[in-house]
Amino acid sequence: MNSAYLLVLVLGAATAAITEHRITVKLSVPKGASVQLVSLDYPNIPAAGTTNTWYLTSEEGSKIELTCDDIWVAPSKLCERGWFKVVAGGKTDKFCEMRPGYTATSESNEMTVQIDLNNTTGRARCTAKAV
């Protein structure tokens, strides 16, 4: 009986590892340079359970400008099923909808960008530039 219980636990852990993708990237963006941020499998829609998080930094005294031409996260009440979020200093934007043309500028040389599809679908394509 114990071996059957162990088999269920092992299979459960393997399934979670296969279905959930959590990708974290730390990027240092030189002043004047830009980097592209795209969700997993872009332009395709990744599986539910996928999270992409980018931690962006640039030189002291510079700021980060984010421009997104393709953001889409399936809507849900209070974005409880998934979201696109930008944290830039004291300001946080979080939403779950289609939002082409989204822009944000950090108050300092740091910015965090995240698309979390914990129980929904969506995708994102953005460019971050240090200015």
CA distance 55 to 72: 20
With contact defined as beta carbons under 8 Å apart, do 73 and 119 qualify?
no
> What domains are there in the chain, each with its CATH number?
21-130 (2.60.120.290)
Residues of the chain above pLDDT 90, percent: 74
pTM of the model: 0.82
Q: Is the pLDDT score of 35 beyond 90?
A: yes
20 pLDDT tier (thresholds 50, 70, 90)? low
With a cut of 80, say whether residue 36 has pLDDT above it: yes
Task: Give me the sign of the Cα torsion angle 24, 112, 27, 104.
Answer: positive
Cα separation, 125 vs 42, in Å, equals 8
What b/e readout covers 89-108, taking b as 16+ CB neighbours within 10 angstroms?
eeeeeeebeeeeebebebee
pLDDT at 17: 34
Strands 50-57 and 21-28: parallel
Q: Evaluate whether 112 touches 41 at the Cβ level (below 8 Å).
A: no
Q: From the centroid of its chain, how far is CA 61?
A: 25
Between 36 and 22, the more confident residue is 36
Q: What is the pLDDT of residues 37-93, one digit of tens each?
A: 999 999 999 888 899 999 999 999 999 999 999 999 999 999 999 999 999 988 999
Three-state DSSP at 10 gives: helix
In the structure encoding, which two tokens stand for residue 15, read together? 């399934």
Token readout for 42 is 């872009």
* pLDDT confidence tier of residue 1, bands split at 50, 70 and 90: very low
